[in-house]
Structure 1
Amino acid sequence: MAKPPTIRIFGTGAHAPSRVLTNAELSAKIETSDEWIVTRSGIRERRVAGPEEGTSDMAAAAARAALADAGVAPSEIDLLILATITPDLSMPASACSVQHKLGLSPTTACFDISAACSGFVYGLDTAAAMLQSGRYKRALLIGSEKLSTIIDWSDRTTCVLFGDGAAAFVLGASDEPDDTAGLIDIKLGAYGDSLDLLYIPKGGSTHPPTAESIAAGDHFIKMKGKELFKLAVRAMAESARDILAKNGLTPDDISLIIPHQANLRIIEAVAKLLQIPLERFFVNVDRYGNTSAASIPIAIDEARRSGRIRSGDVTLLVAFGAGLTYGSALLRW
């Protein structure tokens, strides 16, 4: 059986709303403080999209930047996957809106994927498999979230944590049979018995919206922070160890770890468990907060453009999200 082609990242791009919401501004609206927020999360500010900027708008902006970085024309894209838990509408998929905004061909396959903060890693595995099938040549994988629309801004335990943003990859199979750069491996999983650690209580088919549920704020994110922290740290550390062992690698072989940017304390705990210095983790949660499926690709784009990722480097991605989903990936640049 022929070895499947290596899937390469040909370009990356990101977009952040212009509105910066600082801890000081939040402190003027709710009972909190910069010190309280920074101590518990490491977050100092986050971006918030205005009413005129939807998830698909941010996704399209990030995609344009990734296409320009890759030197790929929109007409070359035949697969578009959008990872998001905040689509423009519950139906149709926001990927179709992005297709229209980018002027992609009507023959482009378009769909959304929902795995919360692990969404981009899940999407990366999905895109890779579809590209390796040979039925698709170039893919746009996008993570885009407007979490400001599903947050209770009076709840200080959640509203201080989240932000809006988007980032994208242009992916394709390598033309060189012995190419070593690109996706090395991916590991995915989920703890489906932990649904209530991070969820939105009402709004789905089992609990459709009612006037009472909307008034009660049951359509906003709810979180059990302490329990979520413990399981997230365990899932990320175990997933990282497993994918390294499977590929015969040690932490010393990894140039940079790019974790989901949910909370600095989680990242610190994972670093301690893996016995890897925090300096080898890329961290930008202080400036963006938790942007869910956009978190890892925003960090990758920043790391590339700041020189933290260089040709030949091996990076480890590791994520967790509501579900409780988790995933890790190894990339060689």
Structure 2
Amino acid sequence: MNLLESTAPVATRTGLTHPVGILGTGLHVPRTVVTNEDLTRTLDTSDEWITSRTGIRERRFLEEGRVTSDMAVEAGRQALARAGVEASELDAIVVATFTPDQPLPSTAMIIGEALGARRAMPLDLTQSACSGGIYALLTAAHLLQNTNHRYVLVIGADAGSRGTDPQERTTRVFLGDAAGAALLGRTPAGFGLLGWDTDGELSYEVEITAGGSRLPTSPETVEARSQYLKMNGKAVWNMATEKLPESIRRTARHAGVELDEVQHILLHQANLNIINEAAKALGVSADRVPTTVQRFGNTAAASVFTVLHETIENRARHGDLLIMSAIGAGFLWGSACFRHFDPFGEA
């Protein structure tokens, strides 16, 4: 089935002329499993402390010698294979990460080169942090309003083990490493992206202070360990438990659907307690809010893709409604509602 031929321009409540949806997903996690017990050998913490406050039991750490783009390439290949699309057909690659391979050159460009996506425009979203996956999906959907574009590969990838201080227990126990991908392309009318919501509030409660023009890297910043992520957990809790439910409700309204109609609510996997609190605020049952945080930890920009991939692979049916929602440093947050299009599951 040729989606481009089957999809005529339509006026939608989103303002998008061409319906755009997720045609395939991919997920890559490193082989190295790091349990809570493993962390207690180097940090002043305990399995009980970590589990009760985060719900995390283990996470994956990237092996020495491998980098963020290595994970992203694997996830991207999976998404392309599941959609039956060649890398050479890609028009753009949008990569969300706060742990790029290096400040320059572009990590998206490195990924495109490895995939063989020679003509794909590389775009890097490096400061959206954990909300990067949502912003990358919305960027891709708008790129696909150009009729010369057919496919955009979106990747959320982070090596949180490289961005957190190995000596600091507050952030170290949360972050894990992973990459998730989604291939976006045209769908028939009524499917794909139905509505979204984005917002933000400037805050320095989650930040990396060194390495920019304000505080360039120096021996002093290294000694102060200012290159690592700093996070105020209480501030994150307050913002996430308030803003995620609000954003999801607004997104459902923008999509023209009732929250009760949404089969799958896919939240940023920051912390199991935050996920449970958000679900309670929304009045939705746990079976509609899948989780991966117990196994993978908070994988930042990859986080929402971990539950997206597992939902698409194992739970979602043709026509199901999904709302994805995430919040990250900034604070930036956003949500997106999709009606799942499965070309093999059409009635």
Q: Which amino acid aligns with 1:70?
A: A
**Alpha-carbon distance, 1:135 to partner:** 3.4
Match of 1:109 in 2: 121
* 2:24 aligned with 1:15: no
TM normalised by structure 1 equals 0.95
Q: Which amino acid aligns with 2:110?
A: S
Q: Is the 8 A contact 2:37 2:47 kept in 1?
A: yes
Q: Which amino acid aligns with 1:152?
A: D
Q: Which amino acid aligns with 1:110?
A: P
Quick one: distance in 2 between partners of 1:326 and 1:109? Answer: 25
Judged with a 3 Å threshold, the aligned counterparts in structure 2 of structure 1 residues 182 and 2 are, in CA distance, closer, same or farther, namely: closer
Quick one: distance in 2 between partners of 1:230 and 1:62? Answer: 32
Q: Which amino acid aligns with 2:122?
A: C
Q: Which amino acid aligns with 1:184?
A: L
Q: Is the 8 A contact 2:195 2:252 kept in 1?
A: no
SS in 1 for 2:269: coil
SS in 2 for 1:132: coil
**Alpha-carbon distance, 1:53 to partner:** 1.3
Offset from partner CA, 1:69-98 (integer Å, 9 cap, x none)? 011111111111111111001112100000
TM normalised by structure 2 equals 0.92
Quick one: distance in 1 between partners of 2:309 and 2:256? Answer: 27
Match of 2:321 in 1: 314
Match of 2:338 in 1: 331
Quick one: distance in 2 between partners of 1:42 and 1:189? Answer: 27
* 2:49 aligned with 1:36: yes
Residue 101 (structure 2) aligned to one of 77, 88, 93:
88
**Alpha-carbon distance, 1:57 to partner:** 0.8
Residue 287 (structure 2) aligned to one of 279, 289, 297:
279
Residue 197 (structure 1) aligned to one of 197, 205, 211:
205
Quick one: distance in 1 between partners of 2:212 and 2:286? Answer: 39
* 2:134 aligned with 1:121: yes
Judged with a 3 Å threshold, the aligned counterparts in structure 2 of structure 1 residues 247 and 8 are, in CA distance, closer, same or farther, namely: closer
**Alpha-carbon distance, 1:206 to partner:** 1.1
Match of 1:296 in 2: 304
SS in 1 for 2:330: helix
Quick one: distance in 2 between partners of 1:15 and 1:51? Answer: 16
**Alpha-carbon distance, 1:244 to partner:** 1.5
Q: Which amino acid aligns with 2:195?
A: D
**Alpha-carbon distance, 1:314 to partner:** 0.2
* Unaligned runs of at least 5 residues, structure 2: 1-8, 12-16, 341-347
Judged with a 3 Å threshold, the aligned counterparts in structure 2 of structure 1 residues 32 and 211 are, in CA distance, closer, same or farther, namely: same
Quick one: distance in 2 between partners of 1:17 and 1:188? Answer: 31
Q: Which amino acid aligns with 2:101?
A: D
Quick one: distance in 2 between partners of 1:110 and 1:140? Answer: 10
SS in 1 for 2:266: strand
Match of 1:159 in 2: 172
SS in 1 for 2:93: strand
**Alpha-carbon distance, 1:2 to partner:** 4.8
Match of 1:237 in 2: 245
Quick one: distance in 2 between partners of 1:56 and 1:248? Answer: 37
Match of 1:132 in 2: 145
Quick one: distance in 2 between partners of 1:87 and 1:218? Answer: 17
Quick one: distance in 1 between partners of 2:328 and 2:149? Answer: 28
Match of 1:212 in 2: 220
* 2:96 aligned with 1:69: no
Q: Is the 8 A contact 1:198 1:222 kept in 2?
A: yes
Q: Which amino acid aligns with 1:24?
A: E
Quick one: distance in 2 between partners of 1:203 and 1:135? Answer: 38
**Alpha-carbon distance, 1:252 to partner:** 0.9
Residue 60 (structure 1) aligned to one of 53, 68, 73:
73
Match of 1:184 in 2: 194
Answer with 284-293 or 246-255: which moved more: 246-255
Q: Which amino acid aligns with 1:266?
A: I
Q: Which amino acid aligns with 1:311?
A: H
Quick one: distance in 2 between partners of 1:210 and 1:160? Answer: 27
**Alpha-carbon distance, 1:317 to partner:** 0.7
Judged with a 3 Å threshold, the aligned counterparts in structure 2 of structure 1 residues 90 and 286 are, in CA distance, closer, same or farther, namely: same
SS in 2 for 1:85: coil
* Unaligned runs of at least 5 residues, structure 1: none
Q: Is the 8 A contact 1:132 1:173 kept in 2?
A: no
Q: Is the 8 A contact 2:255 2:337 kept in 1?
A: no
Quick one: distance in 1 between partners of 2:20 and 2:73? Answer: 22
Quick one: distance in 1 between partners of 2:327 and 2:167? Answer: 25
Quick one: distance in 2 between partners of 1:317 and 1:108? Answer: 26
Number of aligned pairs?
A: 326
